[in-house]
Amino acid sequence: MPESYDANPLLSIQFRVPFDRIGPECLEPAVARLLEEARSRLAAIAAEPGERTFANTMLALDLMTEPLDYAMGVARHLESVATTPELRAAFNAAQPAVSAFYSGIPLDAGLWQGVKAFASSAESGRLTGERRRFLEKTVESFRRHGADLDPAGKKRLEELDVELTQITTKFAENVLDSTNAFELAIEDESGLAGLPPTAVAAARESAERKGREGWRFTLQGPDYFAVTTYLDDAAIRRRFYEAFTVRGAEEPWDNRALLSRILELRAEKARLLGFRDFADLALEDRMAHNGARALSFLEDLKAKTEARFHEENRALLAFRRSVEGPQAPELEPWDVAYYSEKQRAALYDFDEEALRPYFALEGVVAGLFSLVSRLYGVRVSEEAGAPVWDPGVRYYNMRDEGGEFLGGFYADWYPRDNKRGGAWMGALITGGPERDRFRPHLGYICGNLTPRVGGKPALLTHRDVETIFHEFGHLLHHMFSRVELRSLAGTNVAWDFVELPSQIMENWCWERGALDLFGRHWETGAPIPEDLFRKMKRARTFRAANAQMRQLGFGVVDLLLHTSYSPERDGDPVAYARRIIQEFSPAPLPPRHAMIAGFTHLFADPVGYGAGYYSYKWAEVLDADAFTRFRDGGIFSREIGGEFRDRILAKGDSEDPAELYKKFMGREPDPRALLERSGLA
């Protein structure tokens, strides 16, 4: 008997996801059943006996995998935020068959013939708007994914995709496991010198949770940044830096062989599909279109940044020697953040820790909701009782001011041993038109922010606040979508456009009026004092060239690995990457530096940000320029907010992103806005 839909919570799409009933045992039978059903739907579309129509071919294709997408999306999410050995094993066992199925969709000859038959029909010639775009993008995508390959080529492509899915998953697991394997206990209180009280309290609670004496530190973001930025003990800063930069590079979690294999498989896939390299394959339907243009974009920014970068680093060394004497040594990588923070305090009389009492998580979130209410006319309210995967997770509903239910989302902000690092947003359900309404969306936002300590609320850094606003920008892109077709909805846009909605939100974190909504002292409710605000603003562009060069370095090494790297000529990819990153680094990198082996953005997914890390800078140009409309027309302007919502956020990929941008701005993007905002113009 087939498994009951009532018995297995992954077998049916449920808006109120029953996270409390989803266990590892659900995955295998659900995937087997849903794959069988998806294959049947694919076969039915391919064998359609009647005249080809948009409804029986294109719309059917758009909806064909929705139940499987949902089940795998939920499982993938849980594997990221609440993993167990059993869930990991079940997820890894399910992945190959699912990957093979998805990879095989454009390779199905009958389906491809059906798509081409509709493309040549009279109805297709009358299509306009997003339906026309969906047809054109589908035909392009099928060709780019091997629809015209011969049977041997299709078989090889499927093998490549399955192996890439398996080994990129293993890459991510190795990074998580090697991160969790490191901890350092400081038992003598004198060894904590320099650390802010919040970091000390968090480390004490971490030790107590583990039944340890002293203060416990890990490689999770809040600990790592506190130690490398503030701890006076250079030897311990060095231990943390070196441990962090060899994650995924040492046994038993060594990603080196996986990294080489991922690059090899991606290159083979690109050649098989008729592209020069993986960058050209990955970027063909993005705004940059090819690797050469993306690399040229980064090199142009590098040329405009390099002189200031060297000035900043000479000034930092001079600052150290002004404090410690002319014989003070050159800076090591684990010294840079530490002395930079001291230099910033000296130059601007500004300590970022002074802002923490004004950024209690609950207040920041409430202020964020107030801001989006003003800009976009929506109300966000927490709903108690929704099933969640961890007690710390919160669930919220979002409604338009007229009462229309736009959707719901989960927020999971704190680090845990069973949760991957970083911050991200994801979609669980993408709504669409249904009779007289639009079905609601469901998504989530996750982070690894400073947790509650010592009975106080979670007090955040300003960087943490920017992270929340960034991920909420992605969420708004999903929640505001009003696109008919799932494939073109929400964040399903070109990857060098997807960061515009997220990065533009960070701008409000620097505006006095907006800060007064969410920057309030957790005890007194007082706003950030004006003198502290002025110091914060003056310090904003401190070492901006270094911040920019860091991002440019990641983008350049990513593109070069996916365009010009040759294992025969260039040898070990970790050493190759280290040589490139050195050009963008303020201090000499140690010989063991292996950051690339832990770079999950690039290698934890068959595609991910591979050959696409430049997207952050590309979108930063867009966001800095687009925000000038709010800066000049009012940071709370409902009119401008409405235009941004209607012309960008609601449109998904229903139109060319360059055209969407021009409709909002009335012109092409101006890169000078980014340089001016960064103090580099």
235, with CB counted inside 10 A (0-12, 13-18, 19+), is exposed
User: What's the chain's Rg over C-alpha atoms?
Assistant: 25
* Cα separations in angstroms, 340 against 51, 215, 224, 304: 68, 25, 16, 22
Given a contact cutoff of 8 angstroms between Cβ atoms, the answer to whether 12 and 30 are in contact is no
Q: Hey, which residues does 424 pair with through a beta bridge?
A: 446
Task: Give CA separation, 39 vs 28, 64, 68, 69, 115, in Å.
Answer: 16, 9, 11, 13, 17
Give the Cα separation of 595 and 558 in Å (integer): 12
- Rounded to whole angstroms, the Cα distance separating 67 from 377 reads 32
Q: How many other CB atoms are there within 10 angstroms of residue 672's CB atom?
A: 12
- The CA-based diameter of the chain, rounded to the nearest angstrom, is 85
> CA–CA distance from 624 to each of 456, 501, 617, 618, 633 (Å)?
35, 11, 10, 10, 15
Question: Which tokens sit at 149?
Answer: 């390959």
Taking the C-alpha atoms of residue 673 and residue 625, their distance in angstroms, rounded to an integer, is 5
The two structure tokens encoding residue 45? 């579309």
Contact 650, 482 (CB under 8 A): yes
- Sequence-separated (6 or more) residues with CB below 8 Å from residue 403: none
Alpha-carbon distance of 336 to 198, in angstroms, equals: 22
Sign of CA dihedral 479, 484, 487, 492: negative
3-state DSSP assignment of residue 473: helix
Cα–Cα dist 329/283, whole Å? 44
CA-based nearest residue to 28, from 102, 97, 95, 90: 90
Nearest in space to 585 (alpha carbons), one of 179, 312, 369, 362: 312
Q: Hey, what long-range contacts does 553-557 have (CB within 8 A, 24 or more apart)? A: 553/580, 553/581, 553/583, 553/584, 553/585, 554/581, 554/599, 554/613, 555/294, 555/298, 555/613, 555/614, 555/616, 555/617, 556/295, 556/298, 556/299, 556/302, 556/580, 556/584, 557/581, 557/596
451-467: b (≥16 Cβ within 10 Å) or e: bbbeeebbbbbbebbbb
Asked whether the beta carbons of 303 and 537 are under 8 A apart, the reply is no
Identified catalytic residue from 353, 471, 484, 499: 471
Active site residue 471: yes
> Chain centroid to CA 424: how far?
5
Token pair of 481 as six digits: 């979508």
197 upstream amide cis, omega within 30 of 0: no
**Residue 363's closest CA among 191, 472, 519?**
519
Q: Which residues are catalytic?
A: 471
